[in-house]
Amino acid sequence: MFAEERQQQIAELVAGSGRVSVTLLAERFRITTETVRRDLAALENAGTVRRVHGGAVAADRFSTTEESVTERAIQRPDQKSGSPKPPLP
């Protein structure tokens, strides 16, 4: 199988499941984990996937922006207004 064909199949797997692991891809395609990482790097450069530790996720599922502290402070106020946690022993 050519690298382009394999990368297309990897992109389809990521799109279908939302995420894949390096080891799963290596086993599925019977290639080394280094080859998988090169494929994922090529797909990330093309904007198809986003590499994460141990694999890849769909490019639209992963955000590189983080909300400000103020924005996070107002999320789930009911869970944050409870009594303080007991100290660790």
Cα distances (Å, whole numbers) of residue 36 to 1, 22, 27, 49, 57: 13, 6, 10, 13, 14
* DSSP-assigned letters across all residues of 10-32: HHHHHHHHSEEEHHHHHHHHT--
- First CA to last CA distance, the chain: 57
Each domain of the chain, given as residue ranges in start order, spans 3-58
Query: Whole-model pTM above 0.85?
Result: no
Beta-ladder partners of 56: 20, 51
pLDDT given at position 82: 59
Cβ atoms of 66 and 31 within 8 Å: the answer is no
Q: What is the pLDDT of residues 5-37, one digit of tens each?
A: 999 999 999 999 989 999 999 999 999 999 999
Q: Does domain 3-58 have CATH number 1.10.10.10?
A: yes
